[in-house]
Structure 1
Amino acid sequence: MIKPVKVTGLAVALVLTGFATQAQQDNHTQTEELPKGWHLLDKTKDGFYGISVDKAYEFIKQKGLKSKTVVVAVIDSGVDTLHEDLKPILWKNPKEIPGNGIDDDGNGYIDDVYGWNFIGNKDGRNLKQDSYEGARVYHALKAKYEGKKIDPATLKGDELEEYNMWLKAKARIEGGNGEPEIDLMLLKRLLKGAKKGDSILQVALSKETYTGNDLDTLVPKTPVDKAARENILYLFRANQQMEQSNKELIGEFEEFVNGEERKAEAKEKAPPSYRKDIIGDDENDINDKYYGNPDVMAATPFHGTHVSGIIGAVRNNGKGMDGVADDVRIMMIRAVPDGDEHDKDIALAIRYAVDNGAKVINMSFGKDFSPQKKWIDDAVRYADTKGVLLVHAAGNDAKNVDTADNFPNAAFRDGKGRATNWITVGASGDPKSGGVTAPFSNYGKKEVDVFAPGVRIYSTIPGTTTYGNAQGTSMASPVVAGAAAFLLEYFPYLTPQQIKYCLEKSAQAPANKVTKPGTEEEVPLSELSRTGGVINVYEAAKIAATLQPQKGTPQKKVAKPTLQNKKG
């Protein structure tokens, strides 16, 4: 899963509880701190492998172009609607009167002012935690296939696909699928020790909240303080986020451990029906779509807030940080819990975004199984007919997604081609901070289109006036979504395919080989993605300026996908 991904499972639980590799342990002596907003900088002018945003705006100014507002939908965990750098750029439904309990615009969603929450209940309850799709698939089909003599040669179409998916889920849940095992007991001990050390350090520092940098300068007064400092500082360094707060570090570590515990429990029993117990819809019926509530903040807005700021936080206002695009409206669609998202929620979220005017959709989430992928494919095709571009994060498992599943993706399950209005994004960094490729990023010569900055990205976080770093392909994806929105602002006639062309054609290839994530192997970036480059907004804008509106070209006549109750 990508999830709301702020870290890579505490450096994948310190490299699957074998603790960190020597390279990770020594990383703080080998790299430099990146400046806030480094991802926007220009390599030639500033010395960092950013996306040349200022040069892009200078180019637009020279051309005398004026912007046209672009709506960007963010399908995520929620957003802080009160944040100082986001309030002015949040989408507000012009046809909806806030809080009157009436569906003023008749779209089926009452009081959808900022967007919609597909993982909430009409009574106001919201889903925070959910299970993993692999566990759901395994237990849903266990009675049908476990212990039965199945001849795959007798199965066809959906049934064969279902059986193969169950076999994959069985291997994942029961083990023996070649993936490394995680020592859960050791993880729990590490977490318990981290919590104890954190309490000691709060006293030693005389404050409840501190960063890795604060800890780095602490001179311990007692042996107990010294031991606590060494242990927690090790976690900060292994996770490569010294600017992160202790609360975020410990909270994310605990979230990772809880997730691994849920995975372990899935071997013995079916996961709780988190979603069913709260939402109350018929999850097997895609036509049952008017569920949820308008609470797009809920209690889990960190990830969506950070993503939204990367795309379009108000530029040049002297507050916090600048987004990539300068004239956007962020439509938040809450559909991603702590755990794996459900295909139905994602499919309907895409449709909601399209029907309410979004032209770019950012999707910083993902998982290994997609039982109703056909519903999502139908929604993606629908988005294409309306001229909507979808941008998706490649994932944070240092895997080759040409061979390892990462859903959703551009390949249609029915075998009828690929979505051309889709961009998959890997995460890049800077040589000064460890390399051009992020060590956690998924990659794929066929499936990953481009790379974009996703290491130590400074952006908005919940708290009205609060900002901080996070990293993952979850951060790289909105960099690309923001770049796409920028192009649409100034070249509003561009089709999704033309935007994709501009971003890919202009991607900058590193001069030297890069590190293949998860290994020490040095390869050309062209071995890790289709373009072999990192996006550059300035170069993309120059290409966009040479393209013309497709006058006289009839709109593609693609039948509007029907909402059918299909089992994928």
Structure 2
Amino acid sequence: GEVIVKYKDGTVAALAAEGTGPVALKALGAEVATDFSAEGLDNLQALDITGPISVKEAIAELENSPYVAYAEPNYIISLSLPETDPAGSDEAGDFSALTFPNDPKFADQWGLSNTGQTGGVSGADIKALKGWEIAKGSDTIVVAVLDTGVDYTHPDLAGNIWVNPGEIPNNGIDDDGNGYVDDVYGYDFINNDNDPMDDNGHGTHCAGIIGAIGNNGIGVAGVTWKVKIMPLKFLRADGTGDTAASLNAIAYARRMGADIISCSWGGKAKSQALGDAIASTNALFPCAAGNEGSDNDKTPHYPSGFDLPQIISVAASDAKDGIPAFSNYGATKVDVAAPGDWIMSTYPTSLGHQYVKMKGTSMATPYVSGLAALLLAKEPSLTPAKLKARIMDTVDKLPAFAGKTVSGGRINVYKALGGGGSTPGVIPIPGMSKPPRDLNGDGRYEDLNGNGRADYSDVVTFFKYMDWISKNEPVEAFDFSGNGRIDFTDVVKLFQSI
């Protein structure tokens, strides 16, 4: 019973709403529910269809008007709710060699540091430990989480929650004049109140991946340790919402200065209004690619599939640097991969568990949001387009994602922050046009021929030029066995790692 309509430039939406303009809404049995013009989306309105006419018929009538740019249903948006695996309040992973950060469940966070602890492959992670040597984040960067809300009282999140500086709590007044009363911690756009508390769990889990406080002796660590999470609830406890609520949430994030808007949701319905709202912002939009295990090039998914410079579409990777069966992909429509298979993160205390594991591209997306926040903290002048390019250009190229994503790889925090560059003294091996490269940020140069991937040709090159390497290259860059010299054990270790 609801329609979103965009009037062409020059049409006076107010007159149309009164039924005296070129589009007589009253004749359609329609009335204006929301005028998005006040939120910076000019000539865009949500209509309630209250008469006998159907939504389909109303859209046909509206699109026949020369004054209407487009009309569409107010699409229902539903989360593809991930499986969950609760972690007990006293449960902590085995630290083994890990002593930093001191968050007790950090050893369960294979996406940040993978030692094979979950049966995965050691090193199949985003190289967070080395990345944190360069940057840990800043509370000047604001990441809006458009989701089911966020538990802003969670002990691992409370210190990183955005607080509206222009609002006086609980005085019943819109102190900052933004149209929302007492919006201290954000807003709930689906229930139309000022409490964006999470009653589902999905949003809090995503928020923890982005910015759970690191090295605080409790719970988990986020990709960025310092950040401001802006909770924007537009999905109900059952995971459902609608386009109109998402438009209001995006407009709020834009007005209140969010640098990154994280979207761990989507579907196959293409809402032009949603695309227009995203295009009106100057923020990066990491968007989930979807959990149907399908090719987004053939069956588009939105909002991840909009061709906009603000959007970076995210697939999931697993603990073996493979692509999980549930993850969508697309050689031209999905940009990067990030860990998304059984990810440990925060959960609303009111729902019975403070930490759970979930899986889905919903979990992969906030890894990218967290990385973007780290990059902006280090380089505040980066535009959304440059942020996207940096993240995509510094991935670890992986066979599982070749031809499955635009970048062909999984994000690497260390390289994105400027680490992993050439070590002084590393030069091209004879017959190679490019110098060797460190693809995984561990300080050793497994890509001996410099072609951007590690494969068996690198092992052959190492074996053939081992004597030359030992005399011409820095030993530490090619000592894969760690014995302090270049010998056949390094060939074996390189072979095993590939």
Closer/same/farther in 2, CA of residues 7 and 428 from structure 1, 3 Å limit: same
Q: How is 1:453-492 mapped onto 2 (pairs within 5 angstroms)?
A: 453-463=339-349, 466-492=354-380
Query: Does the CA-based 8 Å contact 1:4-1:336 persist in structure 2?
Result: no
1:502 aligns with 2:390: yes
Distance in 1 (CA, whole Å) between partners of 2:174 and 2:309 is 34
Distance in 2 (CA, whole Å) between partners of 1:67 and 1:320 is 20
Aligned match of 1:450: 336
Aligned match of 1:421: 310
Distance in 1 (CA, whole Å) between partners of 2:161 and 2:287 is 21
| Structure 1 residue 42: Cα displacement | 5.9
Query: Does the CA-based 8 Å contact 1:2-1:474 persist in structure 2?
Result: no
The Cα RMSD (Å) is 2.7
Query: Does the CA-based 8 Å contact 1:5-1:471 persist in structure 2?
Result: no
Work out the percentage of aligned pairs sharing the same amino acid. 40
| Structure 1 residue 486: Cα displacement | 0.6
Q: 1:6 aligns with which of 56, 79, 82?
A: 82
Structure 1 spans left out of the alignment, 5+ residues: 9-33, 121-291, 412-417, 515-524, 547-568
Aligned match of 1:59: 134
1:542 aligns with 2:418: yes
Q: 2:278 aligns with which of 373, 380, 386?
A: 380
Deviations 1:95-139 (A, max 9, x none): 11111111111000111111111100xxxxxxxxxxxxxxxxxxx
| Structure 1 residue 541: Cα displacement | 0.6
Q: What SS does the corresponding residue of 1:527 show, helix, strand or coil?
A: coil
Aligned match of 2:268: 368
1:71 aligns with 2:142: yes
1:533 aligns with 2:428: no
Structure with more contact order per residue of length (Cα contacts < 8 Å, sep ≥ 6): 1
Distance in 1 (CA, whole Å) between partners of 2:221 and 2:339 is 15
TM-score, normalising length: structure 2: 0.61
Q: What SS does the corresponding residue of 1:409 show, helix, strand or coil?
A: coil
TM-score, normalising length: structure 1: 0.53
| Structure 1 residue 59: Cα displacement | 3.0
Aligned match of 1:47: 122
Closer/same/farther in 2, CA of residues 364 and 406 from structure 1, 3 Å limit: same
Query: Does the CA-based 8 Å contact 1:74-1:362 persist in structure 2?
Result: yes
Query: Does the CA-based 8 Å contact 2:208-2:222 persist in structure 1?
Result: yes
Aligned match of 2:65: none
Q: What SS does the corresponding residue of 2:230 show, helix, strand or coil?
A: strand
Q: What SS does the corresponding residue of 2:402 show, helix, strand or coil?
A: helix
Q: What SS does the corresponding residue of 1:419 show, helix, strand or coil?
A: coil
Distance in 2 (CA, whole Å) between partners of 1:330 and 1:55 is 24
1:293 aligns with 2:193: yes
Q: What SS does the corresponding residue of 2:410 show, helix, strand or coil?
A: coil
| Structure 1 residue 495: Cα displacement | 0.9
Aligned letter for 1:509?
K
Distance in 2 (CA, whole Å) between partners of 1:421 and 1:545 is 27
| Structure 1 residue 448: Cα displacement | 0.5
Matched residue pairs, number? 321
Query: Does the CA-based 8 Å contact 2:111-2:126 persist in structure 1?
Result: yes
Q: 1:303 aligns with which of 202, 216, 221?
A: 202
Aligned match of 2:256: 356
Deviations 1:533-561 (A, max 9, x none): 00001011117999xxxxxxxxxxxxxxx
Closer/same/farther in 2, CA of residues 67 and 402 from structure 1, 3 Å limit: same
Aligned letter for 1:367?
G
| Structure 1 residue 482: Cα displacement | 0.4
Query: Does the CA-based 8 Å contact 2:139-2:160 persist in structure 1?
Result: no
Q: What SS does the corresponding residue of 1:361 show, helix, strand or coil?
A: strand
Q: 1:93 aligns with which of 139, 164, 168?
A: 164
Distance in 1 (CA, whole Å) between partners of 2:286 and 2:198 is 24
Closer/same/farther in 2, CA of residues 445 and 2 from structure 1, 3 Å limit: farther
Aligned letter for 1:327?
K
Closer/same/farther in 2, CA of residues 72 and 534 from structure 1, 3 Å limit: same
| Structure 1 residue 80: Cα displacement | 1.3
Query: Does the CA-based 8 Å contact 2:81-2:239 persist in structure 1?
Result: no
| Structure 1 residue 340: Cα displacement | 4.5
| Structure 1 residue 467: Cα displacement | 1.0
Aligned match of 1:105: 176
| Structure 1 residue 405: Cα displacement | 2.8
The structure in which a higher percent of residues are strand is: 2
Q: 1:438 aligns with which of 298, 308, 324?
A: 324
The structure in which a higher percent of residues are helix is: 1
Q: What SS does the corresponding residue of 1:345 show, helix, strand or coil?
A: helix
Deviations 1:395-418 (A, max 9, x none): 10101111113122343xxxxxx2
Q: 2:186 aligns with which of 98, 103, 115?
A: 115
Distance in 2 (CA, whole Å) between partners of 1:390 and 1:328 is 16
Distance in 2 (CA, whole Å) between partners of 1:401 and 1:529 is 10
Query: Does the CA-based 8 Å contact 1:50-1:453 persist in structure 2?
Result: yes
| Structure 1 residue 526: Cα displacement | 1.9
Closer/same/farther in 2, CA of residues 491 and 44 from structure 1, 3 Å limit: farther
| Structure 1 residue 339: Cα displacement | 5.1
Q: 1:84 aligns with which of 145, 155, 178?
A: 155
Q: What SS does the corresponding residue of 1:108 show, helix, strand or coil?
A: coil
Query: Does the CA-based 8 Å contact 1:53-1:537 persist in structure 2?
Result: yes
Aligned match of 1:398: 293
Query: Does the CA-based 8 Å contact 1:502-1:543 persist in structure 2?
Result: no
Structure 2 spans left out of the alignment, 5+ residues: 1-76, 85-105, 423-498
Distance in 2 (CA, whole Å) between partners of 1:494 and 1:368 is 31
Q: How is 1:179-218 mapped onto 2 (pairs within 5 angstroms)?
A: none
Query: Does the CA-based 8 Å contact 1:71-1:331 persist in structure 2?
Result: yes
Q: How is 1:241-260 mapped onto 2 (pairs within 5 angstroms)?
A: none
Aligned match of 2:109: 37
Aligned letter for 2:151?
D
Aligned match of 2:234: 335
Deviations 1:19-54 (A, max 9, x none): xxxxxxxxxxxxxxx951111116799914111111
